[in-house]
């Protein structure tokens, strides 16, 4: 018969085992995912172990690869997925994972395709889907954020005025989502006090203060703007809570970003409601002794819906107006129009790793997000009333004279989510009216890493991404083939583009 001491030891051992299983097991437990497939939209690494120990990397997973999912943490919105690479994209890094390889991959890098048909008959009347946790998340939760301190860099905060995913390690929101209607706009004066430390954050987390920005040279940049919440003093004040704020260059915040905010409110005044998602991406430096990240770019996506009764998702069509922008968080946007920085929702997804409009049916969502970063620019947005119709048919206009090529470097993705070697690239844009032959041109960084362009022509109005990694060149992508990342994550760097004679054409510094 065991002694009381022996019984106590056994009980203690059982409790320790139970606690270890609770702490180290995936939460929630993996469940079957109906053999879903997923297409990789942002490269990553496949791992041999599950989320409890994601240490052994098998190799590179590339944008466009497909994975058949057999287990996920939460079906449809998960942190980790287990499955087999079932199809490969046409080109990628030579160290890529082979088709048929099985392992775990972070689903922040994936977009789930439609689930396989259920094996059991559907009920005659489908059960209604659960309503979103907030009106501000009606079109989806871009990162599957949860209000759980165990997810410190994807921590969901829902307020009456907006919802957001907070990143503790960056000290800024990963995204903020909000709805704007005429009832949100009033005559309330702008809150005039200091920006507000968010005391609702879990105990032990660093809480950004107003003074962390003081003297930094950066604005305290609202994501959900104060101007969208003028119906009451409390609503306006809530936008000054620092979890809704990130360091923004004055040229960005007070220039085209502010223009777009004003234009958004004009759209509301014209009889529309808006669903907006915004955030910052990348990193160019930190403030507050590393606790507060200054993003390299800011981005925003706006869905414009004419006022009407009914659920927003059911009123969306492939023709619904969507406005997307990506702006460098530097001095470059000074005196520029916001329309210069328009892009597509799909391109924002590629650059951020988020799943935008995830609650929207797939066929409509695909149309609304548009093409990826390497495709043609989105249609121009009309920001003024069209001219009155002419009383007589006008004479045919003479074709415009072709303008010269104009090469610029709009931005560098130097600190992408995940592995730098997967997502690091320089964007080159020809905003002129003539093609540019780049054969023999060079691009170099401050440390004198030099890329020499092969036989290549960049069409008028086109963009090309120069990836640090290796791969197969095409019209929209060139590959440097470097063995390690080139662009500094901290301390800044400079990219210099020179023509074949060695003359500097443009440079970009961050």
Choosing from 42, 136, 179, 222, the catalytic residue is 222
Tokens of 172: 């800024």
Q: Whole-angstrom Cα distance, residue 426 to residue 293?
A: 21
Q: Whole-angstrom Cα distance, residue 294 to residue 485?
A: 20
Residue 210 is a catalytic residue: no
User: Quick check: 428 and 496 in contact, CB under 8 A?
Assistant: no
Report CA torsion sign: 481, 487, 488, 489: negative
SS3 13: helix
- Please state, in angstroms and as integers, the Cα–Cα distance from residue 169 to each residue in 92, 104, 174, 378, following that order: 31, 24, 11, 34
- Please state, in angstroms and as integers, the Cα–Cα distance from residue 456 to each residue in 362, 474, 504, following that order: 36, 9, 18
SS3 228: helix
Q: Whole-angstrom Cα distance, residue 497 to residue 393?
A: 47
Sheet holding 442-444, edge to edge: 450-452, 442-444, 494-498, 504-509
Tokens of 379: 């249609």
- Please state, in angstroms and as integers, the Cα–Cα distance from residue 170 to each residue in 87, 281, 288, 416, following that order: 35, 11, 11, 13
- Closest by CA position to 275, among listed 119, 384, 142, 460: 142
Write out the catalytic residue numbers: 222
């Amino acid at each position: 018969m065991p002694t009381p001491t022996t019984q106590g030891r056994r009980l203690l051992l059982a409790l320790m085992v139970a606690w270890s299983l609770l702490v180290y097991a995936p939460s929630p437990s993996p469940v079957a995912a109906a053999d879903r497939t997923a297409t990789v939209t942002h490269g990553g690494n496949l791992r041999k172990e599950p989320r409890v120990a994601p240490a052994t990397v098998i190799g590179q997973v590339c944008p466009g690869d497909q994975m058949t999912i057999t287990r996920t943490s939460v079906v449809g919105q998960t942190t980790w997925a287990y499955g087999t690479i079932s199809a490969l994209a046409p080109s990628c890094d030579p160290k890529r994972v082979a088709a048929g390889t099985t392992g775990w991959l972070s689903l922040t890098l994936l977009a789930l395709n439609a689930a396989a048909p259920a094996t059991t008959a559907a009920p005659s009347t489908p059960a209604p889907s659960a309503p979103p946790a907030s009106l501000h998340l009606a079109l989806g939760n871009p990162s599957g954020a949860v209000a759980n301190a165990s997810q410190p860099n994807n921590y969901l905060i829902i307020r009456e005025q907006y919802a957001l995913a907070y990143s503790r390690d960056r000290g800024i929101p990963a995204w903020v989502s909000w709805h704007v209607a005429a009832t949100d706009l009033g005559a309330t004066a702008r809150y005039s006090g200091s920006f507000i430390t968010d005391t609702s954050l879990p105990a032990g987390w660093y809480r950004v203060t107003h003074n962390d920005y003081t003297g930094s040279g950066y604005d305290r940049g609202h994501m959900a703007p104060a101007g969208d919440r003028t119906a009451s003093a409390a609503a306006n004040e809530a936008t000054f809570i620092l979890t809704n704020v990130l360091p923004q260059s004055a040229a960005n915040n007070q220039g085209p970003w502010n223009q777009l905010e004003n234009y958004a409110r004009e759209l509301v005044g014209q009889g529309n409601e808006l669903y907006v998602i915004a955030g910052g991406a990348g990193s160019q430096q930190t403030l507050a002794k590393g606790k507060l990240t200054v993003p390299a770019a800011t981005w925003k996506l706006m869905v414009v819906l004419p006022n009407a009764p009914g659920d927003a998702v059911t009123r969306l069509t492939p023709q619904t107006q969507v406005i997307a922008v990506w702006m460098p968080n530097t001095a470059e946007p000074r005196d520029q129009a916001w329309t210069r920085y328009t892009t597509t929702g799909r391109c924002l997804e590629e650059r951020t790793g988020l799943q935008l409009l995830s609650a929207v049916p797939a066929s409509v969502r695909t149309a609304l997000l548009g093409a990826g970063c390497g495709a043609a620019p989105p249609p121009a947005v009309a920001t003024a009333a069209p001219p009155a119709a002419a009383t007589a048919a006008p004479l045919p206009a003479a074709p415009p004279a072709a303008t010269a090529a104009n090469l610029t470097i709009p931005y560098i993705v130097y600190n992408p989510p995940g592995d730098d070697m997967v997502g690091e690239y320089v964007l080159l844009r020809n905003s002129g009216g003539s093609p540019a032959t780049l054969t023999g041109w060079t691009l170099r960084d401050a440390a004198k890493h030099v890329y020499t362009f092969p036989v290549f022509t960049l069409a008028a109005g086109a963009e090309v991404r120069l990836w640090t990694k290796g791969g197969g060149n095409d019209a929209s992508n060139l590959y440097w083939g470097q063995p390690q990342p080139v662009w500094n994550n901290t301390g800044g760097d400079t990219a210099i583009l020179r023509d074949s004679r060695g003359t500097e054409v443009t440079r970009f510094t961050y």
